[in-house]
Amino acid sequence: MAEFKKADSMLEWFDQRLGVINFSKVMMTEYWIPKNINFLWAMGALLMMMFGVLLISGIFLLMYYKPDVALAFDSVNYTIMHDVAYGWLFRHIHAVGASVIFLVIYIHMFTGIYYGSYKKGREMIWLSGMLLFVLFSAEGFSGYMLPWGQMSYWAAYVITEIFGGIPVIGGDLVVWIRGNFYVSDSTLTRFFMLHVLLIPVVMLGAIAFHFYSLRFPHVNNEAGEFFDYDVEAEKYLAGDKKGSKVIPFWPVFLAKDFFVMGVFLIFFFYLVFYYYGFAMDPVNFDKADGLKTPTHIYPEWYFLWSYEVLRGFFFEMFGISGKDLGLMAFAFANGIFLVMPWLDRSPTVAPANQRPYFKIWFWLLMIDLIVLTIFGKLPPTGANAWVGFASSLSFIVLFLALPVITTLEAKKLGAK
């Protein structure tokens, strides 16, 4: 190691020891983002902010929460909501934040699908993103149990019961997950551990990986255009900022993100103060009672579409019981987005509105998901059950048809 010369400034002192100047270039001022983007490209920064908000509000809730079936309900609804200064605010932020973060996740995800940002080198971005989706879902589910209300209990009961449908090991697996034959104290405490430690730690790693995976293929842009980043970056650094196709992460890209955050936060805090009921279900303010099933059991809104796929198959077909068909469809629905890059057989990277067949497929998928979500909440009786069946079946058909549609589209575009 070369000898250190005496530093002339604080910056130099740190730079000698940590290489901060080069580091900030790589991470901020010379991390290049395409210029041709819209506000949908701010969802990543929004998610990072929401993750921070949930982490911080969660830390304060953790100071008073008690993971014990005898104490949990009152520690949340009395201690935190009534006694702790601003405890109610942190709980509202945490509950509403957990719900709204899924809205941003879905927008982020479908932006990626719309602009084809999952293929031609960007597969790892997509896969790590889907891994994060799974982790956030597990985090949401485990956290929902903690207030130990009626919905906490019965959602935990119904969802863990799903694993019972796995052949051979199902029954034992359910008992193993719960740590008891029914949802009980051991279930609450282990899900508490998952929620506050294991899953968040894995999430931090997955987030870092997701960011890292963006480095090589670069961020996609509104036109799906491929260009040489080095050439454009040089242009920018040489002073041709208007002519260059790229902008630096700091300050240009983040300047836009901060504005989007500002608008989003107005929406978010409006919900926190005035419209929090959708994220804090009234039924959950009845203490958990294993001997009393609520009239309607439904998961949080962000699980509704896959929940509806699960219960959409309510009758026997081909000699397979409705329950098993539902489980298979449920497994399909939760796994299929993962292989999106390989289902889309067209090499074109372009927004959906410039792709004749994919465009139709995309909007059909959106409609189907909305129908599934809405009917996932409605009681599955009468005509509702059939709408559920039709939309669940359409979901599967849409994904099975995707390779065919995109192959035909590639031929058509290639022929032009």
Partner 1 sequence: MTDESRRGFIGKAFGAFAAVGGIASLIAMKKTWDPLPSVMSAGFTTVDVSGLEENKLEIVVWRGKPIFILKYSADMTPTEGRNIKIGDHYYSVMIGLCTHLGCIPAYRTVKKDFKCACHGGEFSADGKETFGPPPRPLDIPPFNLDGETLVLGEEGEAYRALVAKA
Partner 2 sequence: MKELKILAVVASLVLVTFYGIEPYAHHVMHPEGKPADFKFSDLKNVDTSLKGDVTAGKESFVNNCTACHSLTADGFDPMMSDADSAAAYGVTPPDLSLAGRIYEKNFLANFIFDPVTATKVEHKYPANGSKVYPMPAYSWMGAQEIMNIVAYLESVSPKAIDEAGLASLAAKEERTLFDVSREQNAEVFKSACGRCHDMKYGGLSATTPKVTIQGYMGSTPPDLSQYIISRGSHYLDGFINNPQEYLHGTGMPRVGLSEQAQAEVIEYMTQVGDPKKTEREELGPKVLLYLLIFAILAYLWKRKIWSEVH
Stretch that binds partner 2, among 122-130, 284-292, 320-328, 395-403 (CB under 8 A): 284-292
Instruction: Mark the segment that binds partner 2 (CB under 8 A) among 17-25, 38-46, 54-62, 180-188.
Output: 38-46
Rounded distance between C-alpha atoms, residue 26 and residue 249, angstroms: 10
Provide the strand spans (E) within 115-269: 246-248
Q: Which is nearer to partner 2, 37 or 327 (CB)?
A: 37
Task: By CB under 8 A, tell whether 278 contacts partner 2.
Answer: yes
Q: Does 158 bind partner 2 (CB under 8 A)?
A: no
**172 versus 225: smaller Cβ distance to partner 1:** 172
Nearer to partner 2, 1 or 266 (CB): 266
Q: Which two tokens stand for residue 229?
A: 């980043």
Residue with structure tokens 């052949």? 167
Among 35, 66, 120, 190, binds partner 1 (CB under 8 A): 190
- Find residue 33's DSSP bridge partners: 247
Q: Is 186 in the site for partner 1 (CB under 8 A)?
A: yes
Which candidate, 43, 58, 190, places its Cα nearest to that of 112?
43
Amino acid, res. 306: S
SS3 270: helix
Token pair for residue 40?
Answer: 């949908």
CB 91 within 8 A of CB 76: yes
Asked if 119 is part of the footprint of partner 2 (rule: CB under 8 A), the reply reads no
Spatial contact of 128 and 209, defined as CB atoms under 8 Å apart: yes
- Rounded CA gap, 24 and 26, in Å? 5
Residues 240-259, one symbol each (x = binds partner 2 by CB under 8 A, - = not), give -xx-x--x---xx--xx-xx
Of 329, 282, 322, which Cα lies nearest the Cα of 308? 329
Site for partner 1 in 262-291 (CB under 8 A): 290-291
Using the minimum distance from each CB to partner 1, give the nearer residue, 56 or 169: 169
Q: From the CB of 152, what's the least distance to partner 1, in Å?
A: 16
Which residue in 8, 295, 319, 416 binds partner 2 (CB under 8 A)? 295
247: β partners: 33
Residues in region 347-366 near partner 2 by CB under 8 A: 366
By CB under 8 A, how many residues form the interface with partner 2?
50
Does the protein bind partner 2 through residue 71 (CB under 8 A)? no
Tally helices (H) and strands (E) across the chain.
17, 2
User: Which of 14, 64, 285, 337 is close enough to bind partner 2 by CB under 8 A?
Assistant: 285
176 binds partner 1 (CB under 8 A): yes
- Is 319 near partner 2 (CB under 8 A)? no
Start-to-end CA span in the chain (Å): 61
Site stretch for partner 2 (CB under 8 A), options 11-19, 23-31, 32-40, 194-202:
32-40
Residue selected from 16, 38, 186, 354 as contacting partner 2 according to rule CB under 8 A: 38
C-beta atoms surrounding 129 within 10 Å: 23
Q: How far apart are CA 197 and CA 62, in angstroms?
A: 11
Q: Select from 30-38, 44-52, 182-190, 265-273 the region that touches partner 1 (CB under 8 A).
A: 182-190
Tell me the site size for partner 1, rule CB under 8 A. Answer: 15
Which spans of this chain sit near partner 2 (rule: CB under 8 A)?
A: 35, 38-40, 77-78, 81-82, 88-89, 92, 103, 107, 241-242, 244, 247, 251-252, 255-256, 258-259, 261-263, 265-266, 269-270, 273-274, 278, 282-286, 295-296, 301, 304, 366, 370, 373-374, 376-379
Which spans of this chain sit near partner 1 (rule: CB under 8 A)?
A: 175-176, 178-182, 184, 186, 190, 290-293, 295
